[in-house]
Amino acid sequence: MSISTKPPPEARAAQADAAAQRLKGQPVSAIDTPALVIDLDAMDRNLHRMAEFAKKHDLRWRPHAKLHKSAQLARLQVQAGAIGVCVQKTSEAEALAAGGVRDIFISNEVIAPMKLARVATLARNLGSVGGRLAVAVDSMVGALGLAEAMAAADGSAGRLTIDVFVEIDVGQGRCGVAPGAAALELVQEIERHRTLVFAGLQAYHGNAQHLRSVHERRDAIAQAVDAAVRTRQAIEAQGIPVGLVTGAGTGTFALEAASGVYGELQPGSFLFMDADYAKNDPDPAQPQFDQALFVKTQVISVAADHAVCDAGHKSHAIDSGLPVVHPLPGDPALVFENGGDEHGILRAAARGGPLPTLGDTLWLIPGHCDPTVNLHDRMVGVRGGLAHGKIERVIRVDARGAVT
């Protein structure tokens, strides 16, 4: 590394990428720590199970790419049968489109005129290569702003359109217009604009995903389904067809699938899973998924009653709890305690039990997969298991930090 010059950031990014790509074919031990590692065998099983489920239920499947933020994985999901992907942010959509993803739904509200102009540009660019952009709307201000931006991007051509899903609040209490009359009023406004194509209802119940019992999840989704049906009826009573009801996540998608109301499923986390989803009681109606995402970490300090590893809050998100240590055969059973931004503190699971040795490798299951991925520039894909596998691919997190 030269230090007398100051390489521009793009040169450093390219260097880091080249170094990462050189890992291909090497054993797991070549991965420096901390690092995000995908068990590709587990990921492929998860992908296959989800694809099979959607096919069996004859439903469209649009996985949420806010999980992986990777164009490579989005394309893999489309190859497996997904219709396209969801994202939450305009900049995520741009990053994935730049990586060759053609059908993208921004399942979130966009309000700022400077963002709406980008949405319109992206709709035009995707359209020019046979792709499609959709966006969620939950307010008159949002619908009017979008129509204005689309008209500006269209110019005199008069052909540019964007799919608009009206988001209804089906019980989460976050975004979304109220089901029923308020949603109808918004649909009617959308119908007045030539550039806006009313495509259906966004009806996602985020909180329901993490309710622990199947019973609670069933009750929550029953309410969501009811809200969607009521809204659809109100809209269709005015002669406006509701093309699609879309929603669902990894915790509940079998329930939305069984409803007969949802035509498209949006689960994302199933691909990787995490310690939080592992706490849900399994629903026999939906496929079970394997843990595929891990943080590889190393023990860098050992004391009498604890060890310290090199992974902290800057390597894994803790919004859904601390990571869980995943012992490989022969590894000691350990509990992970908060050690701050750059460290994890490890204690024996049983009092007086064995601690790891300085330099040992440990594997962590993150508490929450989505924001953990967002901390990393790349994910290292391993084939053949964490203990003895080989590095098959290094996958860029293209939309890492894409929050705007």
Taking residues 97 to 136 in sequence order and writing x for each that binds its own copies by CB under 8 A, - otherwise, the string is xxxx-------xxxxx-xx-----xx--xx-xx-x-----
Among 49, 306, 390, 393, binds its own copies (CB under 8 A): 306
Task: Name which of 217 and 376 has its Cβ closer to its own copies.
Answer: 376
Other beta carbons less than 10 A from residue 43's beta carbon:
26
Contact yes or no for 286/323 (Cβ under 8 A): no
Q: Determine, following the binding rule CB under 8 A, whether residue 13 of this chain makes contact with its own copies.
A: yes
Among 224, 315, 363, 379, binds its own copies (CB under 8 A): 315
Q: Which residue stretch of 54-62, 245-253, 279-287, 310-318 sits at the interface with its own copies (rule: CB under 8 A)?
A: 310-318
- Residues 346-380 as b/e (b if ≥16 CB within 10 A, e otherwise) read bebeeeeeebbeeebbbbbbbbbbbbbbbbbebbb
What is the rounded distance in angstroms from the CA atom of residue 105 to the CA atom of residue 93? 8
Residues between 140 and 159 with contacts to its own copies, criterion CB under 8 A: 141-142
Q: How far is the CB of 234 from its own copies (least distance, A)?
A: 19
Q: Which residue stretch of 169-177, 191-199, 235-243, 259-267 sits at the interface with its own copies (rule: CB under 8 A)?
A: 169-177
H/E segment holding residue 264? strand 264-265
Task: Name which of 2 and 156 has its Cβ closer to its own copies.
Answer: 2
Residues between 352 and 391 with contacts to its own copies, criterion CB under 8 A: 358-359, 370-371, 374-377
What is the rounded distance in angstroms from the CA atom of residue 338 to the CA atom of residue 322? 7
Q: Determine, following the binding rule CB under 8 A, whether residue 339 of this chain makes contact with its own copies.
A: yes
Q: Determine, following the binding rule CB under 8 A, whether residue 302 of this chain makes contact with its own copies.
A: yes
Q: How far is the CB of 118 from its own copies (least distance, A)?
A: 8
Q: How far is the CB of 125 from its own copies (least distance, A)?
A: 5
CA distances to 9, 19, 81, 296 from 14, rounded to whole Å, are 9, 9, 32, 23
DSSP 8-47: -HHHHHHHHHHHHHTTTT-BGGGS-SSEEEEEHHHHHHHH
Task: Name which of 50 and 299 has its Cβ closer to its own copies.
Answer: 299
Other beta carbons less than 10 A from residue 185's beta carbon:
13
Taking residues 254 to 283 in sequence order and writing x for each that binds its own copies by CB under 8 A, - otherwise, the string is ------------------------------
Residues between 194 and 253 with contacts to its own copies, criterion CB under 8 A: 206
- Residues 247-259 as b/e (b if ≥16 CB within 10 A, e otherwise) read bbbbbbbbbbbeb
Q: Count of alpha carbons within 13 Å of 351, Cβ hemisphere only?
A: 0
Q: Determine, following the binding rule CB under 8 A, whether residue 301 of this chain makes contact with its own copies.
A: yes
